Structures are given as structure tokens and as C-alpha cells.
Amino acid sequence: MSIFGSIMSKIFGHPTAAAASGTSASPTPESSAATPEPGAPPSYTPAATSAPQAPVDVEAVLTAIALEKKGPSNWRQSIVDLMKLLDLDSSLDARKQLATELNYPGDQNDSASMNIWLHKQVMQKLAENGGKVPDSLKV
């Protein structure tokens, strides 16, 4: 799995994601109130199986994870802290790999600039993939 895929998985798959977005982690079809005729196929409510999932509140999920860990974290500004918060490898090599995945246009040896760009891009990509990300985290 890609590093960004791991970030998304950790955030969107966290139990707080379902609670914060008001959706069930595993949606199940609603059973029909009427008794089906013998031999008839089961009846499902289309809304239960094809309803779009509500956006995941990324800030709420990350805040909840930070509270669980009870340690200091600057995940709102630091890609390193964000990756550590999610129990992902935050080494320079891992960040360079993430930069490659996200098509970083700059010099990967300038880690300070790359880290700032990575944090912004991760937040932007989370928003593009169904996350509700406040503007303050995208800049």
C-alpha cells in the first residue's frame, strides 16, 4: 500500500471517523418491513446500499487519536508528527517516497520545504478523497 493510502486508511478507518461523520462503519441493507413471498429474492432499500458516505471529519479523527496518545504532537503543521500520530514511518526516506507519490516538484534534499509541501498536499488529498478538512489545515 502506498504511504498516502496508509494515511487515508488510518484516518478513514478509525472508529472516530464513523462517529464524526454520522455513518456506520459497515453499512448493512435494511430489511423489508413486508414479508416477502416465498421464493422471492430478498428486498433491500437502495439508499442503504448505494448512499454516498458522509465526509469524514479529518480534524476530529486526528484530534481523537492525539487525545488517545496523550503525548505532545504538532500534527496540524508537521508531516512528521502527523505520520508519527498515525504510527507510520516518518523517516526522511518515507517522506521522500510520499513526495514521489504526490509528485513533489521541488528538491527532495530540501527537507524543510518538502515537509511543508507534503503536509499541505496530504490535507488537500484527504479533502479530495472524502475528508472534511478545515481550510486552516490546507494552508
- For the segment 6-34, the average pLDDT, to the nearest whole number, is 64
Dist CA 46 CA 17 (whole Å): 23
pLDDT in tens, 81-108: 999 999 999 999 999 999 999 999 999 9
Residues 6+ apart with CB under 8 A from 60: 16, 20
- Residue type at position 61: V
β-partners of residue 131 are 56
pLDDT band of residue 128 (cuts 50, 70, 90) is very high
**Phi, psi values for residue 56, rounded to 5°:** -85, 130
> Helix or strand or coil: residue 132?
strand
Please state, for a pLDDT cut of 90, what percent of the chain lies above it. Answer: 63
pTM over 0.85: no
**pLDDT for residue 47 is more than 70:** no
**pLDDT for residue 28 is more than 60:** no
Measured at the alpha carbon of residue 30, what is the angle toward residues 28 and 36, in degrees to the nearest 5?
Answer: 130
User: Do 56 and 19 form a contact (C-beta atoms < 8 A)?
Assistant: no
- For the segment 74-84, the average pLDDT, to the nearest whole number, is 97
> Helix or strand or coil: residue 56?
strand
**pLDDT for residue 24 is more than 80:** no
